[in-house]
Structure 1
Amino acid sequence: MNDTKKKWNLSRLKSKMTPYWFISPATLTIICLVVYPILYGIYISFFDTNLVNKWNFVGLRYYAQALTDASFLHSLMKTMIFTVTVVCGHFVLGFIFASILNTDIKYRTLFRGILILPWLFPDVVIAYLFKWILNTQGGILNELLMHFSIISEPVGWLSTSATAFPCVILVSMWKGYPLVMVQILAGIQTISHDLYEAAEIDGANMWQRFRYVTLPALKPILTTILILDTVWVFKQFTLIWLMTSGGPGSSTMVSAIEIYKNAFSYFKYGFASAQSVYILVICYLIGVVFRRLLRDD
């Protein structure tokens, strides 16, 4: 009797543990690749260290220093402008192309494949492609503009403060809009056509159908994409680093590049870690704010 009960309890325990065994590989991966680096970065922010044999505890000094550091505050402002502009561009382009692809146009499948290509290319490829296009000497953009007599001499698109930041923004818009486009297109195709017909019978015009039918139906998708896209753009590093390295001057110095230079050019690991913690908090707050603003009534 006791043996039977023990076997039954063991079988029950195995049954309860089965789901946890299935999720354990993903959990361990997240702990090793996400949780541990975050906690270690927070730990480093309390020390003046070279990560080898120098560990001088400084408490919250670097956190206070970051709040008064002009370079960090400037990069934070640049990041805000960059994020708002690029995310808005992603959604404008995403809505336009998704609406076009949702219509019954010729070669629609071909256009879908073409329009999604920017998202499929790695950031490195995109950065060097546009660095060649925007090159001062021999760049295809300058050559075309001079050929049609729009400009009289080559323009340093990435080497001039006035044009470098707008160029980086436009390239980032082009790179990221396919993700938003695909998600919006998938959401639009799940909306029943009966809703549009009912709205049209009630006298709703195109804008009213978009506002009162399309947007409410897409709200869950838009919330998720808005949060993810904003956080991804806010942490953008590769594209800007390869195109301008934060220059010329500090015209494209976003927070990610500012932190990278402090850590790996000036070896201020503690200070860079404190700045990274601020970025972590900001990204978390972005998600919280968007979820509260766009939550279902």
Structure 2
Amino acid sequence: MKVLGKKTAPYRYLMPTLILMTIFMVIPICMVIGYSFMDKAVVSKNPAFVGLDNYKELLSNSDYWSSVSNTIIFVVVSVVAHLLLGMLFAMLLNSKYFSIRTKTIARVIYILPWVFTASVVAILWKLMLQPSGIVNYILSIFPGVSRNTEWLSNRSIALAVICFINIWCGYPFYMISILAGLQGISGDLYESAAIDGATDSKRFIYITIPQLMPILISIAMLDFIWTLQSFNVIWMLTGGGPVNSTQTLSVYIYKLTFQKVNYSMAATTATVLLLVCVIIAIFYVKQQKKVRK
């Protein structure tokens, strides 16, 4: 009995967490997947099983494909910009050309966007981007620039503005992660390369990038999943408008659920989004296993 108790002890410690995860995550996910195969799910006492009809209807819906297009642009632009900005600021903070005091002040300033909650970010930028806001006031100083630009109401630029705000919010995560990776690279590698006559660009390409690659891949995959599910800032800034120009899949699911009360199609869209996230998560787990080895 004592041997059996020792073998089952880890599972007993994990049991409360597993029970909570099952109740609040596994069961709801299974319910949503089940709703995607039904017609009039939740709103009807006896929803009819329709098989893959909801998926066929979804794939023929123009609003869905518009949301997919906006989501792809939003995710790709955000992840790439996060990576580039994070690398740039991390390299600056890791540079030997600045004093420790300057680096400390810069770290505090650079990390501020990541500290703000989504509601604070949305309110802050909504006020600044109003026609009478500070952004238009600063731009009006330059000749030929209008002071009455509707940044969030202009269909042609609204998505770009949302991307910019999301980039501003998310780059500190990359900066901190990459900075930690840079500080973990042995200085002997750079000294040996310098003795061999390697330029700064070659040292960056052949030493820095390969050493950081596991970190870059991991944070890019995580950021891809987070950005794919991004909802709060977009909803509070534009609500998916104007004319669905900033409507991503997360906003599309929300509208189907709470505005159109179409739980079946919302569950179908959520299931497709879940599948994409699971595929990315599998790659992330495999990457983490390689790093540990």
Is the 8 Å Cα contact of residues 37 and 52 (structure 2) preserved in structure 1? yes
User: Which position in structure 2 is the counterpart of 1:225?
Assistant: 219
Identify the range of structure 1 (93-102 vs 283-292) with the bigger mean alpha-carbon deviation: 283-292
TM-score after normalising by structure 1: 0.90
Tell which deviates more after alignment, 285-294 or 206-215.
285-294
Partner of 2:239: 245
How high is the TM-score relative to the length of structure 2?
A: 0.92
Residue correspondence of structure 1 range 69-148 to structure 2 within 5 A:
69-104=61-96, 105-106=98-99, 107-136=102-131, 138-148=132-142
Three-state SS of the structure 2 residue aligned to 1:162 is coil
Cα distance in 1 for partners of 2:119, 2:126 equals 10
Task: State the alpha-carbon separation in 2 of the partners of residues 17 and 256 from structure 1.
Answer: 41
CA distance in 2, matches of 1:152, 1:233: 32
Is this contact kept in 2: 1:118–1:175, CA < 8 A? Answer: yes
Q: Which residue of 2 aligns with 1:59?
A: 51
Q: 1:30: which partner in 2? A: 21
| Consecutive unaligned residues in structure 2, runs of 5 or more | none
Task: Tell me what 1:235 maps to.
Answer: 229
Say which of 187, 190, 204 aligns to 1:193. Answer: 187
**What is the CA–CA distance in structure 1 between the aligned matches of 2:286 and 2:5, rounded to whole Å?**
40
1:50/1:267 contact within 8 Å kept: no
Q: What is aligned with 1:215?
A: 209
- Name 1:5's counterpart in structure 2: none
Q: Secondary structure at the match of 1:125?
A: helix
Residue from 267, 278, 283 that aligns with 2:277: 283
Matched, 1:169 2:163: yes
AA of the residue aligned to 1:171: I
Question: Is the Cα contact below 8 Å between 2:218 and 2:287 reproduced in 1?
Answer: no
- 2: CA distance between counterparts of 1:229 and 1:46? 30
Q: Shift of residue 29 of structure 1?
A: 3.0
Note if 1:155 corresponds to 2:136.
no
Percent identity between matched residues is 37
What amino acid is aligned across from residue 170 of structure 2 in structure 1? G
Cα offset, 1:291, TM superposition = 7.3
After TM superposition, the structure 1 stretch with the greater mean CA deviation from structure 2, 16-25 or 217-226, is: 16-25
Distance 1:212 1:280, change over 3 A: same
Deviations 1:99-153 (A, max 9, x none): 01112323212211221111111111101110111012x2111122224445244
Measured in 1, the distance between the counterparts of 2:116 and 2:4 equals 47
Structure 1 residue 60, shift from structure 2 partner: 1.2
